[in-house]
Chains A and B, each alone.
Chain A
Amino acid sequence: MNAWKAELRLLFRARLSAGALLLLLVLTALSVAAGLAATARQQAVIARVEAAQGRDLASVTREYGKPDGDAGSAAYYTFHLTTDPPSPLAFAALGQRDVQPYVLRVRLLGLQSQLYESETLNPELALAGPFDFAFVLTYLVPLVLIALMHDLVSGEREAGRLRLLVSLPVSGRGVWGRRGVLRYLLVLGALLVPFVTGAAIARAPVVATFAIALAAALYVAFWWGLALWVAARGWSSAANGAALMACWIVLTLLAPALANAVISRAIPVARGVDLTLAQRERVHRAWDIPKEETFRPFFVKHPEWRDTPPVLGRFHWKWYYAMHEVGDEGVSAEVADYRQSMTDREVWTARLGWLLPAAAVQTLLHRAADSDLRAHLAYQRSIEAFHTRLRDFYYPYLFQERPFQKADFERLPRYQPRPSSASLPISPMIGLLVLAALVSGAAIRGVRALSSSAAREATGASPWGVRP
């Protein structure tokens, strides 16, 4: 135990090491606080919007909740609020929640023209991405590890202590193990103590918190292994530092940017525009064609209204809403395509995790925090389900021509926030595990080789075992 204490003291005596660790602790704590503040802000926005919506609904109720009220007008003027509150773990990985809307109002009209409405967004602030735990983990932790590890061996050599260290009979090998493990644990501690505190404050589910902590431990292990492997190569401190920085640039900045360029080119998603254009054509064409043509596909889906009186005049609300539903229905293939291409982008990003630990850890964190593109698609699907409920609610009034009164406003369906779609994806976790194991394995072999070769060197033997 004394040896560990001594190593710890040594580590903290170096200004750079102590400073890097302290900085990491402070930045992680800050990022967790910023994440918690951001999710609290989103909750507050939801509460504010709910209040505004409540006022709006009250005024609509006053206006259209008459004894002879008309369901068609009520449905036309009543907006229904849907919200997507942040998951408890969203503080750690805010993901796309800064660019995707998490409040949206819909009404009984065609959903496809309402679903893609974007929220007021200051694009310049979104440009760099959020400052959250995921950012600190992905970008900053490798740098701290590089600072702590790059001169682990070369520093000793440059100070002239290396031969002495490896020739110590008892602790020759143990010293690298201790130093390595100590650095790994300290970095992980600086990272996980604030994160777990944040998770406790946010009352995050234990399993998902543990999964994120595990992902963090594996990601740190990858960089730790890489840094140790380079340190054991026997180059100078400067060369180690440069090589590791180059790895950092490639693995966290360059390769992901390149991959994004490739993926967005390989899987284009202009279909979003296509589908809204198509839907508009379908809805508006309905004004120019006989009403039976609109009702035909509608009655196939809704046989229960087949026997209601036909629409004779120019306009009837039930025809109007039927035409909107048929318009949505007509582009369902395009909608599926559009969602599929977005899902494909996600899937390819996750696959990239087999090569890029940064992509793997981002995928994992955001999936567990339910704040990625998939989460937004789940929100869209839940709005769709709600919209179906709205139809089921309004159609009896419209087709049976029942009056829509004040009491009916109180019976309006309310959107319940979707259950979390968070999951713990196995494949990026295995990807991280494999990468971390490979690199750490190589590092440990490198350190062993270093100890034995340096030991031989110290006892006068050449690395080949025979004196040339």
Chain B
Amino acid sequence: MNFPGTKVPRVAAEEWRALVRNRVAMIASLTLAALLVTSALLGVEQRNATQAARARYQATADETFDAQPDRHPHRMVHYGQFVFRPLSTLAFIDPGVDGFTGNTVFLEGHRQNSANFSEARQSSLLLRFGQLTPAFVLQTLAPLLIIFLAFGAVAREREQGTLRLLVAQGLRPSEFAAGKLLAHVGVVAAIAAPALLVLVAAALAGLAPPVPSLLMASGYLVYLSIWAATALLVSLLVRRARDSLLVLVAAWMGVVILAPRILPELAVARLPTPTRIETDVAIHHELKQIGDSHNPDDPYFSEFKAKTLARYGVEKVEQLPVQWAGLVGMEGERLTSGLFDRHAREAFAREAEQNRLVRRFGVISPLIAMRQLSMSLAATDTESHQDFLEQVERHRYAFVQALNLLQVTKIPNQNAGADPRISADHWKTLPGFTYRPPDVLLLAGGRIRDNLLVLMGWLAVLLVGCGLAARRLEATR
């Protein structure tokens, strides 16, 4: 009786030897490795270029704002500010939804504008074939290579009769299976190594946040191991290598190519969303119901007037020490922004519900769980974008109200003249937009945990399946 432990690495080593000798397998693996390196380098370059362009735009937009001449503050409310969304560091691995969301928002008074100029709206249909990023290679192509390398791990040896021979020589089928698994998990590590090394290097060099980087690397290792374990399981169960390949390619098709396209259709059909125009009309209508600042007899603004007069202890608006129109503007902005916030929250909630419907299928398609995990960790998921929009809206409100306050305090309430203006020096005192990148562990902690759990659950189930299948092999010995 040999030490059972020594046989497992031996089986693995034999499998590696066979793979190294297989020229096609080597060429395919090297091609994929080259692709990963290329896409990672391209990704870094692209991310930095995009980030630099957005920072440059932000700087010019801020400069031109500060350089505006003396004006009435309300003119500046309409001149507005432009805000550009900075790109997270890890976007070089997975740009996520960045190509599909606009990355610039125009901020002005009375209105909440959308984020515009997304890459998807300005590109030909080629963009929809997928972007060449490490995430695309790791999520879509690498599983196919793993399948291709591992589909015959057991089935081929069975077909060729070597399995029977090995077992006759005293190798236990469970050791055999464990060895094959070890071999292919090793292959997974080798395949993912180029991208993961870049990731770890970026984290160590302080360029990328360390914990998300490490979690991302582990996530991809688990995801790819799922494919290795699936391939092994099918290879253990199916009689012929050919059938094993067929089953596995079909599974890849369903999980990686079909599910991500069919599920969104389902989500949109089941949970329709109102368009921007409908929301705008609804906000306008609700606003009319709350109060109309232009209508002198409007009950809400009559009350507001009474309260304001009481607060300053005067009888007529003309006697107010501050500018009355500015006060009305501030109150109006407060009302509209409240409505914007509510409608935005509702829209986010609807989006979240649609996404939940799709993400629930992460239990069926590990790709969905992996994609989600990867985007969350890279801060390029829908929620990070929403976080940006919320920060932008908070800034918009602060900026518009700051200008309104200037109008209240700096423009005379009486006899201001035909064209009252305040000094341009004030523009520089207004807050510029500073984006606070979200801490993804706080923002997406729950989702990251859930998706990791789904992936590990998949791996665990598959490993148990492999164990059971190996035992069945033992029974038929």
Whether A120 touches B129, Cβ cut-off 8 Å, given contacts A125-B358, A237-B242, A276-B106, is: no
Least CB separation from A313: chain B residue = B418
The reply to whether A96 and B120 form a contact with Cβ atoms under 8 Å apart is yes
Chain B contacts for A259, CB-based, 8 A: 126
Name the interface residues of A269-319: CB closer than 8 Å to any CB of B: 269-270, 272-273, 276-277, 280-281, 284, 287-288, 313-314
Let me know if A16 is at the binding interface, CB within 8 A.
Answer: yes
Among residues of A, the one whose C-beta sits closest to the C-beta of B350 is A122
Of A81, A125, A249, most B-chain CB atoms within 10 Å: A125
Are A257 and B354 in contact, CB atoms less than 8 angstroms apart? Answer: no
A116 touches B117 (CB 8 A): yes
Asked if A120 meets B273 with Cβ closer than 8 Å, knowing A128-B260, A131-B265, the reply is yes
- Is the CB–CB distance between A128 and B123 below 8 Å? no
- Closest Cβ–Cβ distance, residue B192 to chain A (whole Å): 18
A336 at the interface (CB under 8 A from B): no
> A129 at the A/B interface (Cβ < 8 Å)?
yes
The reply to whether the CB of A100 lies closer than 8 angstroms to some CB of chain B is: yes
Stretch at the interface among A48-56, A166-174, A441-449, A456-464: A48-56
**Bound CA–CA A99/B116 (angstroms):** 11
State whether B125 touches A95 (Cβ < 8 A): yes
Check B100 against A99 for contact (C-beta < 8 Å): yes
Q: Are A245 and B249 in contact (CB under 8 A)?
A: yes
Q: Which residues of A contact B82 (CB under 8 A)?
A: 273, 277
Which of A4-12, A33-41, A216-224, A394-402 contacts the other chain?
A33-41
B111-122 contact mask (Cβ, 8 Å, vs A): 1 or 0: 001111111111
Kindly state whether residue A416 has any CB partner on chain B within 8 Å.
no
CB < 8 Å neighbour of A52 from B28, B122, B264, B278: B278
Q: How large is the interface on B (under 10, 10 to 19, 20 to 34, 35 or more residues)?
A: 35 or more
* B115 and A260 contact, CB distance less than 8 A: no
A349 and B260: CB pair below 8 A?
A: no
User: Is the C-beta of A119 less than 8 angstroms from some C-beta in chain B?
Assistant: yes
Residues on the B chain within 8 Å of A237, using CB: 242
Known: A117-B114, A263-B124, A314-B419. Is A123-B261 also a contact (CB below 8 A)?
no
**Contact partner, B276, options A34, A120, A122, Cβ 8 Å:** A120
Q: Beta-carbon contacts of A110-139 to B below 8 Å, as 1s and 0s?
A: 000100111111111111111100010001
A side interface size, CB within 8 A: 92
Residue contact A349 to B124, C-beta cutoff 8 Å = yes
B81 to chain A, nearest CB (A): 10
**Hey, which chain B residues are within 8 Å of A121, CB to CB?**
100-101
Query: CB < 8 Å: which of A27, A118, A270, A349 contacts B126?
Result: A349
Selected interface stretch from B170-178, B279-287, B325-333, B393-401 = B279-287
Contact B117 A123 (CB under 8 A): no
Taken together as a complex, chains A and B put the C-alpha atoms of A95 and B127 apart, in Å, by 11
Do A34 and B265 touch (CB < 8 A)? yes
A120-B347, A123-B385, A272-B117 known; A103+B79 contact, CB < 8 A: no
Chain B residues in 8 Å Cβ range of A65: none
Q: With contacts defined as CB atoms under 8 Å apart, how many contacts are there between chain A and chain B in the complex?
A: 230
The answer to whether A245 touches B148 (Cβ under 8 A) is yes
Contact A273 B104 (CB under 8 A): yes
Complex contact B269–A261 (CB within 8 A): no
Residues of B123-166 at the interface with A, using a CB-CB cut-off of 8 Å, are 123-132, 136, 140-141, 144, 148
Answer whether residue A372 sits at the interface, using C-beta atoms and an 8 A cutoff: yes
Q: Is residue B71 contacting chain A, with contact meaning CB distance below 8 A?
A: yes
Rounded to whole angstroms, the CA-CA distance of A119 and B121 in the bound complex is 11
Whether A277 lies near B61 (C-beta < 8 A) is yes
14 more A-B residue pairs beyond the given contacts A264-B127, A362-B125, with a C-beta to C-beta distance below 8 A: A49-B277, A99-B121, A104-B277, A117-B114, A123-B118, A129-B129, A253-B140, A260-B123, A276-B116, A284-B78, A288-B69, A314-B418, A342-B122, A366-B125
Using a CB–CB cutoff of 8 Å, the interface residues on chain B facing chain A are 24, 28, 35, 42, 46, 53, 57, 60-61, 64, 68-69, 71, 75, 78-80, 82, 97, 100-102, 104, 106, 113-132, 136, 140-141, 144, 148, 241-242, 245-246, 249, 253, 257-258, 260-262, 264-265, 267-269, 272-282, 284-285, 288, 347, 351, 354-355, 358, 371, 381-382, 385, 418-419
Q: Which 8 A-B pairs have the closest CB atoms?
A: A123-B100, A123-B97, A256-B129, A125-B264, A260-B126, A349-B124, A128-B260, A257-B132
Q: 15 A–B contact pairs at CB < 8 A? A: A27-B258, A37-B265, A52-B281, A55-B285, A103-B277, A117-B276, A130-B265, A139-B257, A257-B126, A261-B132, A270-B57, A277-B57, A280-B79, A288-B71, A373-B125
